[in-house]
Structure 1
Amino acid sequence: MKTLLLLRHAKSSWTDPSRSDHDRELNRRGEQAAPVMGRYLHDHGLVPDLIWCSTAARAVQTLTLLGRDFASASDVIYNEDLYMASEKVLLESLVQTHDDARCVMMVGHNPGMEDFAAQLFGDGDGEALLQMNRKFPTCGLCQYEFDIDHWADVRPETGRLIRFVKVKDLQGIGAPPT
């Protein structure tokens, strides 16, 4: 059994028009949202063994703000190919993951993250799928499980969607107002 967590980076800033898209950092709302999602992940035992992360500043900053557990307990692969990656590139990266990793997180961008999440659905929480297809917001998270032993065996429509979580739904546990 393998678990995949897909996390879209937190809300980024557009205040400096001279900054390249790759170098945009989080805005205040994003800086507040990432630790809330980190606490949620920690509280639900979802600290990954390995993390694939885009090299974009907002993705790296999101990962950093999730909390200590994610920096110390997880191997992290920063990959420039994940910056604005398509679902095809995300899948190509995932299937290269070493099989010792039981739980993997990918931190990336839309539209690729949302498209990849939709592509993986085979069964599971139908209501979560509807919410995810409506909008995959910044700092949104979906969790899939795969009944496989090898990451190389992940294929479209083979995942079981366990949950889809938005930070705004976590407001009762300390999320920033939106």
Structure 2
Amino acid sequence: MSVEVVRRIVLLRHAKADWPDVADHDRPLAERGRQDALLAGRRLAGTGVTPELTLCSTAVRARDTWKLCASELPRRPRTTYESRLYEATPGEVIAVLNEVDDAVTDLLVVGHNPTLHALADLLAGTSDGDTRARLHATGFPTAAQAVLTLTGGWKSLEPGAARLVTFWTPHD
């Protein structure tokens, strides 16, 4: 009999972006966003979750958030910049996650709203304490992160298959 592996997914929304006269995909981080991305990295480092793989949207604000966040981690995980995460629906993100190799137990996804909020809510069949209530009360603000766990392989990830264990925002 094999033991089911517990996997963790960290959903990280990009930090606060600036609004210069550029295409949406090319928007950079605002000063507050740069500070919050560093806070998000410190928070992630403090949780003990050590992602083996990061899937990051190709949008400039997501890539810059990840670079700053990763600078606070004890080791930088392998990173894939994934164009399918930009303007994705929750179902499209789940399809990307279903492709992750089962050798990965801790995964970080850097993306956008409203997708990440909807995804966290959709995946969470259960939650710890008041995490789901907090998620609903605050939405999924910039630089926020949710940690979900699931048992089984990435191909088995589907709505309701995970547990929302923590939800954090940089201005809690």
TM-score by length of 1: 0.89
Q: Which residue of 1 aligns with 2:150?
A: 146
Residue 51 in structure 1 maps to residue 54 in structure 2: yes
SS of 1:168 mapped into structure 2 = coil
Residue 28 in structure 1 maps to residue 21 in structure 2: no
Q: CA deviation at 1:127?
A: 1.4
Q: CA deviation at 1:47?
A: 2.3
Q: Which residue of 2 aligns with 1:102?
A: 105
Q: Which residue of 2 aligns with 1:125?
A: 128
Give the percent of matched residue pairs that are identical in Structure 1 and Structure 2. Answer: 33
**Gapped runs of 5+ residues in structure 1?**
170-178
| RMSD, aligned α-carbons | 1.4
**Gapped runs of 5+ residues in structure 2?**
1-5
Q: Which residue of 2 aligns with 1:92?
A: 95
* Contact kept in structure 2, 1:95 and 1:154, CA below 8 Å: yes
Residue 39 in structure 1 maps to residue 42 in structure 2: yes
Q: Separation in 1 of the partners of 2:89 and 2:99?
A: 16
Runs of 4+ off more than 6 Å: none
Say which structure is richer in helix. Answer: 1
SS of 2:171 mapped into structure 1 = helix
Q: Separation in 2 of the partners of 1:48 and 1:140?
A: 16
Question: Which residue, 5, 21, 35 being the options, matches 2:10?
Answer: 5
* Contact kept in structure 2, 1:47 and 1:69, CA below 8 Å: no
Aligned residues: 166
* Contact kept in structure 2, 1:64 and 1:71, CA below 8 Å: no
Q: CA deviation at 1:70?
A: 5.2
TM-score by length of 2: 0.92
Q: What amino acid is the match of 1:26?
A: L
Residue 155 in structure 1 maps to residue 158 in structure 2: yes
